[in-house]
Amino acid sequence: MTDPVEQLVTTIKDSIDDQTFQKLTLGKFQDELSTVQHVYVRIVDLKTGPHLSFVYRYPNQDITKNSAIPEGIGVIAGWLGSSCKSATLLTSNGRQQLLFSRRNKPRLFSQESSFAKSTEDKSNSSQSRLRPVSAFSYVGQGHKGHKVLSMELASGSALPSLAAANRSHDREKVRLLRDERALQLLGVIDSQGRPRPQMGNKYRQVHHFIEALAPILKGTSPGETLHIVDMGCGKGYLTFALHRFLQENSLRPVTVGVEKRGPLVESANAIAGQLGDNSIRFIQGEINDVDVKPIDILIALHACDTATDDAIYRGIQEECRWIVVSPCCQHELRPQLTAPTGLEPLFRHGVQVDRMAETVTDTLRCLYLEAWGYQSRIQEFVGTEHTAKNLLIVASRTRKAGPRSDLVERALEFQHRFGIQNQRLQRLLMV
């Protein structure tokens, strides 16, 4: 039987060749790599051709190194079984996981996957709903008592196109936002449309943000006026991008950027003037008391700490259709956070408690949003290799909310389990 390590390395090579490779996650590092928590490997298309991008995750930072594909595969093959004891390969054909026993015996598990068109979609919509269906199998050296799971495979796979999309270089991608004049005036791209030095992350962030918000279009009608407010808009990168994207999609946005720093407001208004667009403007003000209404869509990207709660609260007050925030620096709850009974081991390490504080803060925000009639979800909008500030809370107003008192009770019970007596959104809602 083929050695499982060789088998995995061959699959990695093959998947890169046939463009089905999506991601490789390496873990359980030892020896000289013992301080690395994980290494995430993806394909990036650089000017000199496709490369492997290795993101080394350390407890307090990520370090990215790019490597030509043959060298990168050599590095991975050298690690497996020596300094690295776990590898998970994700391709559009499925997942393979390589694990090593205490005696360093490799075992390779494979899980095929496919996506099936749901037959339950009664809406006659032309959009197909995709549902993952999997088949699990075990490859490599046998192990007594190992369970083999098995499920039927369904027809049709949507994943190869995703794999190909993942590989595309930023500038070659089909972008949802086509008119980038504002990005040029803001200094994100040069006159050739290339991201300026140091602005690549911002450029990607803007486009990922537009992709994340595109579903909002579904609930709108051509020609409709939408009032957009961007709380804590900074220079207005995302404000201009969303405004233009909505215009490109036959909507009539009326957009206001709110920012407490006067010079940023002035420069953003100057750019709106250069674009000759009087349906977007910027005003100096504080999120919690600025006088701006009506609001259909409220966004607040990276408004630090409790400024995000202020923004959510304004959105709830104005009964916005959509509230989209990207939280950051969630410090408020950190000093209050205590371990629920039985979960003490999760609270032993400071760095984990920091992350927990972020997770609990955002979960609580979603629970309060739900209590006030919003459906909410938390999603990534840009890869962790670009920034750790990469989560979006996307909330849409719904009429189907359950009884508020039950939902508030659920939120309070949740926060009390973590020892939290006070949270900004909770106080603003006066719960």
Ligand X SMILES: C[S@@+](CC[C@H](N)C(=O)[O-])C[C@H]1O[C@@H](n2cnc3c(N)ncnc32)[C@H](O)[C@@H]1O
Interaction between residue 234 and ligand X (CB under 6 A): yes
**Least separation in angstroms between CB 261 and ligand X:** 5
For position 324 contacting ligand X by CB under 6 A, the verdict is no
Gap between the Cα atoms of 58 and 65, Å rounded: 14
301 binds ligand X (CB under 6 A): yes
d(CA 1, CA 4): 8
Q: Is 287 in the site for ligand X (CB under 6 A)?
A: yes
Amino acid identity, residue 152?
E
Q: How far is the CB of 364 from ligand X (least distance, A)?
A: 20
The answer to the question of residue 391 lying near ligand X (CB under 6 A) is no
What is the rounded end-to-end Cα distance, in angstroms, of the chain? 63
Q: Which is nearer to ligand X, 107 or 175 (CB)?
A: 175
Interface pick for ligand X out of 54, 109, 237, 372 (rule CB under 6 A): 237
Taking the least distance from each CB to ligand X, the nearer of 232 and 373 is 232
Using the structure block, give the residue that is written with the tokens 């050739």.
192
The number of residues that bind ligand X (CB under 6 A) is 16
Q: Give me Rg for the CA atoms of the chain.
A: 24
Min dist CB 172 to ligand X, Å, is 25
**Cα(72)–Cα(57) distance, integer angstroms:** 17
Which one, 80 or 231, has the nearer CB to ligand X?
Answer: 231
261 sits near ligand X (criterion: CB under 6 A) = yes
C-alpha distances out from residue 178 to 175, 193, 204, 244, Å: 6, 11, 14, 9
Closest-CA residue to 233 (of 193, 266, 201, 208): 266
**Does position 386 bind ligand X by CB under 6 A?**
no
x/- mask, ligand X, residues 79-118, rule CB under 6 A, reads ----------------------------------------
Helical axes 69-79 vs 4-17, angle rounded to 10°: 160
Is the distance from CB of 262 to CB of 235 less than 8 angstroms?
no
Among positions 80, 159, 233, 333, the unique one binding ligand X when judged by CB under 6 A? 233
233: exposed, middle or buried (Cβ count in 10 Å: 0-12, 13-18, 19+): buried
Q: What is the largest CA-CA distance in the chain?
A: 72
For position 259 contacting ligand X by CB under 6 A, the verdict is: yes
Is the separation of the CB atoms in 163 and 21 below 8 Å? yes
Stretch that binds ligand X, among 23-31, 256-264, 359-367, 414-422 (CB under 6 A): 256-264
* Helix, strand, or coil (residue 405): helix
Is the Cβ of residue 131 or residue 302 nearer to ligand X in the bound state?
302
Q: In this chain, which of 90, 108, 159, 303 binds ligand X, going by CB under 6 A?
A: 303
Q: Rule CB under 6 A: say whether 229 interacts with ligand X.
A: no
Q: Please identify which residue in 26, 52, 238, 393 interacts with ligand X, judged by CB under 6 A.
A: 238
Q: Does 194 bind ligand X (CB under 6 A)?
A: no
Q: What is d(CA 87, CA 25) in angstroms, rounded to the nearest whole number?
A: 6
What are the backbone dihedrals phi and psi of residue 430, each rounded to the nearest 5 degrees, phi first? 55, 45
| DSSP H or E segment with residue 276 | none
Q: How many CB atoms lie within 10 A of CB 267?
A: 15
Question: Which of 162-170, 228-236, 349-357, 400-408 is the region at the interface with ligand X (rule: CB under 6 A)?
Answer: 228-236
- By beta-carbon proximity to ligand X, the closer residue of 260 and 377 is 260
What is the C-alpha separation between 403 and 280, in angstroms, rounded? 38
- Is residue 358 close enough to count as binding ligand X by CB under 6 A? no
Tell whether residue 312 is a contact of ligand X (CB under 6 A): no
Q: Which residue, 287 or 412, is less far from ligand X as judged by CB?
A: 287
Q: Tell me: does residue 302 bind ligand X (CB under 6 A).
A: yes
Residue ranges in contact with ligand X by CB under 6 A: 232-234, 237-238, 258-261, 286-287, 301-304, 307
